[in-house]
Amino acid sequence: MTKDTSSAGEDRTLRLEIGPDRIGHVVFDRPDSPVNLLSAAVLHRIDALVAELESRIANGQLVALTLESAKQGSFIAGADVGEIGEVRLAEQGRAASTEGQRIFRRLERLRVPTISCIDGTCLGGGTEISLHCDYRVASDSNSTRIGLPEVRLGIIPGFGGCVKLPKIVGVQRALDLILSGKPVPAARAGRIGLVDRVIPHHAWERGIRDFVSDVLANEVPKAEPRLSFKGKLLERNPVGRKVLFSLARKRVLSETKGRYPAPLKAIDVLEQTYGLVPDEAYPIEADALGELVVGDVSRALVRVFGLSQDAKRALPDSVMAAARDIRRVAVIGAGVMGGAIAELVAANDIGTVLKDIDQGALDAGLRHAADLLRKATRASVFTEEEAGLKLARIDGRLDYEGFEEVDLAIEAVVERMVVKQQVLRDLEGVLDSEAVLATNTSSLSVTTMASGLDRPERVVGLHFFNPVHKMPLVEVIRGERTGDAALATAYRFALGLGKTPVVVADRPGFLVNRLLGPYLNETGYLLDEGVPVEEIDDALLEFGMPMGPCRLLDEIGFDVALHAGREMAAALGSRLSPPDVMDRMIEDGRLGRKNGRGFYLYENGKSTGVDPTLDSLFPSGTGGPGDDEIRSRCLWLMVNEAAWALEEGVVDTADQVDLAMIMGTGFPPFRGGLLRWADFEGLRRILDGLLRFEDTFGPRFAPAPLLKELAERDGTFTNPT
Ligand SMILES: NC(=O)c1ccc[n+]([C@@H]2O[C@H](COP(=O)([O-])OP(=O)(O)OC[C@H]3O[C@@H](n4cnc5c(N)ncnc54)[C@H](O)[C@@H]3O)[C@@H](O)[C@H]2O)c1
């Protein structure tokens, strides 16, 4: 089709193809990358290209223009987050925003119809450039997702997204998209008027051609926001709009407790810019972006994003080269974890065998998987038909038939060494000699588990967190004899499931549970001092933890927590010894949520509040430490344990600790991670505090040598800039 091509600049990131029909196609094709990004350099090229387009249009060489991507499954993934992290001054942020707005508005003013053709992920700046086109079409492919996820980086859309989106989809839907940061699939984008036509993926090229012809024949009306009657009533009068903005503010405040400034700022910008002429509206957006991008929260969130990207490349290429392809997976043990892991694997279209020794347990595991798939259907992740096909991929069994086809077996049976060793031995007898054996153990030694096998180098830990479908972290545990092939296979497999893998050494509690140990134990000591459950949980909720430690203990179960605590204490020292509160809870018939009785009471799985009869187990409230001390004692112990873990080489870097704690426990991302937070608190202050607590409460507060050394030389765990 190419009659005339040019690339703006020498780079092939962007090219213009013009067909004999005088329809121009701007094709994004960033070299050596699976996705297109809108870096400053790419924006500069777009600017140069628009200048070229202006002159071609003036010369009658163009009648319409499409924006397209040459990447499979990706239109434009957004701005270059690395560049966002480099902004130091609000003025720089404002200037970058103004420049992007200027270029997109220049594109908007081209005097031929412009059509953004979205096949694949279209995020952030990708969506904003599309909003400045006259029309948008999207393919119905599964990978098409259109959104403005900026709030997740602590900023707002700054290339005109806040100004343009309400005009196209209405205020309420613009608020939904911007405040949630959640991208929407093509069908929904079509329903809300974000795109003008949804084209079947199999007829994509032809669909674009037809759409362009329809536009040129004046057969496509300019989109108006598709509002319901109630929507029109609210949005089209100032009082109604005031209500919308005020409800949005209330909702954001209740969800974020005001800790994340970006969503609130987005509401301000949408409210202030509504009805303004563009020359007045765009600068308001740019100012807000400049202010947010240099704020602590944005810097923390951008860092976390960077860490999760780094986690995708943490193992050297030489090790990754040994990874095996996974076509079939077996999950052994169909309990809480096994059923959920099987669902996750099948949801990713990998054939799965789910095996148990008990028919009842197997049925329950399959039901659990089916429930999770149903939930995904309700959340519009899959259609019902797709969910049915995925469920059919799980083959429930009580025997080992067909295991010779399995590339990766994950054992998730009861947490007992002898049982797990037997399961691995059985697997060794039935699997192909190259298959990888993974264990989902949360506390047992991978090395010991593998010790009786003929080929222990095939064994690796693959520690998923509960609930599996929600928690992004997977600890990949390198046993002493784990080989590169097993490690790389497990790592790549976790990445393929959309999880964030962190490689950890085979030490008791691995990383996350080890750091949670002293944090949860301290809760017990506080209770013993008469501090009420609500006060402890509220103090940590106030800090930003997703749930308080008492609530978390209820979720884990006291039997499991006690067992894990004892194991860790035996191996790592008495600082990790669980307080006898746990024993008392168990003696009183309390296991936590699973039997309806923990610190809280539960009816039909739902919490009904703190158990008022706990008084008989703990001294009743006697004042005791305030919120600050509760937080310091629990969190500083976690920091201290991280220092021990780093010294022992459980992970290599403080960055890995931060990523794992955010992805595995929900440690508040706006704090930047456990050790980044500790650095901001000041290590000297934490050291002095630990020494003070050691005097009062004993050796469990003794500072780790690494923490002491860093604090004494004014060092930091991370590299705060
Ligand atoms: N529950 C959690 O929150 C959690 C989180 C992370 C890791 N883990 C780990 O995952 C594993 C499983 O935990 P769970 O909570 O799902 O346990 P569970 O008790 O719910 O399930 C264990 C299942 O294993 C089956 N089983 C026992 N022996 C077996 C054998 N020889 N062959 C096949 N199946 C057998 C049982 O019938 C049961 O269905 C444990 O190692 C646990 O430490 C649990």
Contact 440, 341 (CB under 8 A): yes
Closest atom of ligand 1 to 355 CA is 33
* Ligand 1 contacts CB of residue 114 (under 6 A): no
Integer Cα distance of 39 and 66 in angstroms = 20
Distance between Cα 440 and ligand 1 center (Å): 9
Q: Distance from the CA of 375 to the center of ligand 1, in angstroms?
A: 23
- Locate 703 and state its tokens: 């500072």
Q: What percent of the chain clears pLDDT 70, i.e. is strictly above it?
A: 97
Give the pLDDT score at 5: 52
* pLDDT tens digit sequence for 543-560: 999 999 999 999 999 998
Q: Kindly list the distances between the CA atom of residue 678 and the CA atoms of 127, 319, 666, in Å, as whole numbers in the listed order.
A: 37, 33, 16
- Whether the link from the prior residue into 467 is cis, omega within 30° of 0, is yes
- 10 vs 241, residue with greater confidence: 241
Question: Which three-class secondary structure state does DSSP give residue 649?
Answer: coil
CB atoms within 10 A of CB 628: 9
Nearest atom of ligand 1 to the alpha carbon of 358 = 37
pLDDT at position 10: 45
Q: Taking 50 as the threshold, does the pLDDT of residue 2 lie above it?
A: no
CB distance 163 to ligand 1 below 6 Å:
no
Cα dihedral 380→381→385→387 (10° resolution): -130
664 lines ligand 1 (CB under 6 A): no
Amino acid 1: pLDDT: 47
pLDDT of 12: 78
What is the Å distance from ligand 1's center to 214 Cα?
58
Determine the atom of ligand 1 nearest the C-alpha atom of 414: 22
State both tokens at 651.
């992970």
- Token digits for 215? 């536009």
Are 26 and 14 in contact by the 8 Å Cβ rule? The answer is yes
Regarding the beta carbon of 343 and ligand 1, being less than 6 Å apart is answered: no
What are residue 74's DSSP bridge partners?
121
Which residue's entry shows tokens 């344990």?
641
Question: Using 50, 70 and 90 to split pLDDT, how confident is the model at 221?
Answer: confident
Determine whether the shortest distance from the Cβ of 357 to ligand 1 is under 6 A.
Answer: yes
User: What pLDDT is recorded for position 619?
Assistant: 79
Quick check: CB of 441 below 6 Å from ligand 1?
Answer: yes
Ligand 1 pocket mutation, candidates 413, 419, 663, criterion most atoms within 8 A of CB: 413
Whether 537 has a pLDDT exceeding 50, the answer reads yes
Q: What is the mean pLDDT of residues 653-682?
A: 96
Q: Is 361 in the pocket of ligand 1 (CB under 6 A)?
A: yes
* DSSP secondary structure letter of residue 457: G
Tell me what the mean pLDDT of segment 610-634 comes to.
86
What average pLDDT does this structure show over 193-204? 96
For ligand 1, is residue 338 a contact (CB within 6 Å)? yes
Whole-angstrom Cα distance, residue 193 to residue 706?
A: 56
d(CA 655, CA 311): 10
Strands 114-118 and 23-28: unpaired
3-state SS, residue 671: helix
Q: Is residue 359 in contact with ligand 1, taking CB distance under 6 Å?
A: no
Pair 167, 134: CB distance under 8 Å: no
How far apart are the C-alpha atoms of 566 and 558, rounded to whole Å? 12
Q: pTM of the predicted model, to two decimals?
A: 0.91
Q: Return the ligand 1 atom nearest residue 464 CA.
A: 6
Across 616-643, average pLDDT? 89
Tens digit of each residue's pLDDT (9 = 90 or more) over 50-67? 999 999 999 999 999 999
CB of 474 within 6 A of ligand 1: the answer is no
Distance 412 CA to ligand 1 centre (A): 5
Ligand 1: atom nearest CA of 439 is 41
pLDDT band at residue 677 using 50, 70 and 90 as cut-offs: very high
In one-letter notation, the amino acid at residue 42 is V
Span 37-48, average pLDDT: 95
Mean pLDDT over the full length of the chain: 94
Pocket test for ligand 1, best of 332, 359, 414, 512 (most atoms within 8 A of CB): 414
Quick one: pLDDT band at residue 468, thresholds 50, 70, 90?
Answer: very high
Q: What pLDDT does 721 receive?
A: 61
Mean pLDDT, range 119-138, rounded to an integer: 98
Amino acid (1-letter code) at residue 645: A
How big is the chain by its Cα radius of gyration, in Å?
28
**Lowest mean pLDDT across 46-60, 281-295, 573-587:** 573-587
Here the tokens at position 456 are 């222990």
Residues 6+ apart with CB under 8 A from 535: 621, 627, 630
Q: What per-residue confidence (pLDDT) applies to 505?
A: 98
Task: Give the residue, out of 332, 336, 560, with the most ligand 1 atoms within 8 A of its beta carbon, to mutate for a pocket test.
Answer: 336
Q: Does the beta carbon of 513 lie inside 6 Å of ligand 1?
A: no
Reported as type and span, the H/E element at residue 411 is: strand 408-411
Q: Looking at ligand 1, which atom is closest to the CA of residue 419?
A: 31
- Residue 623 is predicted with a pLDDT of 65
Count the alpha carbons within 13 Å of 182 in the hemisphere toward its beta carbon: 10
Give how far Cα 24 sits from Cα of 1, 35, 63, 406, Å. Answer: 11, 22, 8, 50
Ligand 1 atom 15 nearest Cα: 336
Is residue 364 pLDDT above 80, yes or no?
Answer: yes
Instruction: Give the model confidence (pLDDT) of 404-450 as tens digits.
Output: 999 999 999 999 999 999 999 999 999 999 999 999 999 899 999 99
Tokens encoding 120: 């694949």
* Position 621 pLDDT exceeds 70: no
Does ligand 1 come within 6 angstroms of the Cβ of 415? yes
Give the Å distances, CA to CA, from 390 to 382, 384, 400, 490: 10, 10, 21, 22
Name the closest-CA residue to atom 6, ligand 1. 465
For the chain, the helix, strand and coil percentages under 3-state DSSP, each to the nearest 5 = 55, 15, 30
Atom 3 (ligand 1) nearest CA: 466
Query: 337 C-alpha to center of ligand 1: Å?
Result: 6
Q: Is the CB of 364 under 6 A from ligand 1?
A: no
Tokens at residue 396, please? 């429930």
Which residue's C-alpha comes closest to atom 31 of ligand 1? 423
Residue 56 Cα to chain centre, angstroms: 44
Residue 92, Cβ density class (10 Å: 0-12 exposed, 13-18 middle, ≥19 buried)? middle
Atom of ligand 1 nearest to the CA of 361: 39
Predicted pLDDT at 615 = 81
Catalytic residues: 475
